[in-house]
Structure 1
Amino acid sequence: MANHNTFGKLGEQKAVAFLKASGYEIKKLNYRYLNAEVDIIAEKDDFLVIVEVKSRNIGFLEDISHVITPKKIKLLTMAANHYMEELDRDLEVRFDVITVVKNADNFEIEHFENAFYHF
């Protein structure tokens, strides 16, 4: 596995630990539907939370407004809709982004709730 893939998986593990510690119930990891992949699907407070994880080394994190492209939003929305159909439950869906930034031997985690809205 390439180094960036390994680092990305480590970022997802850090994000999962963060979410669990924050009271989220993790439902699925790396959920795939057609061309879409959702990093984390979680639940908390009657919300189904679709989480995109972005892992970077210090100094390489883009402006959060540019992290998720319109194409990515469309794919995540499609996957979320499919998951909701499978789940057959009535939950409100929220789209979050978690950034995991490696700074020397430390990881800084930031959680952006309602990071974007589906259209």
Structure 2
Amino acid sequence: MAQHNDTGNKAEEMAAGFLIKNGYKILDRNYVFGKGEIDIIATKDNWLVFVEVRARSEVLHGYPEQTISKTKAGLIIKTAENYVYQKNWRGKIRFDIIAIIVGQHFEIRQFEDVFF
């Protein structure tokens, strides 16, 4: 498996653990609809939260949270719309990013309600 896949898988595991530690309940992981994928879908305080996990091993060319294109955001939104419809969710939703810098030491940050 490619190094970036290993980093991505490790980052998603770290993000899921971070969310659980902070009171979230994980509902789904790697939810796919069409060409879109949502890394983690969770709930907390009556919110349905769609989480995109971004990881980098260095930040010379930007931080992980800066790497989501408009196209990627659109795919996430379209995939979330399908999930909401499929599950008949009637509550509040939001889109978060969990940004992880993986290296000798790691840093994990959550950005809430990043796009709609």
| RMSD, aligned CA | 1.5
Equivalent residue number for residue 47 of structure 1: 47
User: In the comparison of the two structures, how many residue pairs are matched?
Assistant: 116
CA distance in 2, matches of 1:34, 1:87: 17
Structure 1 position 37 matched with structure 2 position 37: yes
CA 1:61–1:83: 2 relative to 1, 3 Å: farther
The letter of the residue matching 1:51 is: V
Q: How far does residue 102 in structure 1 lie from its aligned partner after superposition? A: 1.5
What per-residue deviation string (whole Å, max 9, x for no partner) do you get for residues 22-63 of structure 1?
Answer: 000001100000000001111111111010101111334624
Written as runs of structure 1 = structure 2, the 5 A alignment for 1:1-119 is 1-60=1-60, 62-63=62-63, 66-104=66-104, 106-116=105-115, 118=116
TM-score for both structures, normalised by structure 1: 0.90
Percent of aligned positions with the same letter in both sequences?
36
Structure 1: gaps (5+ residues): none
CA distance in 2, matches of 1:113, 1:36: 20
CA distance in 1, matches of 2:64, 2:101: 13
The letter of the residue matching 2:42 is: A
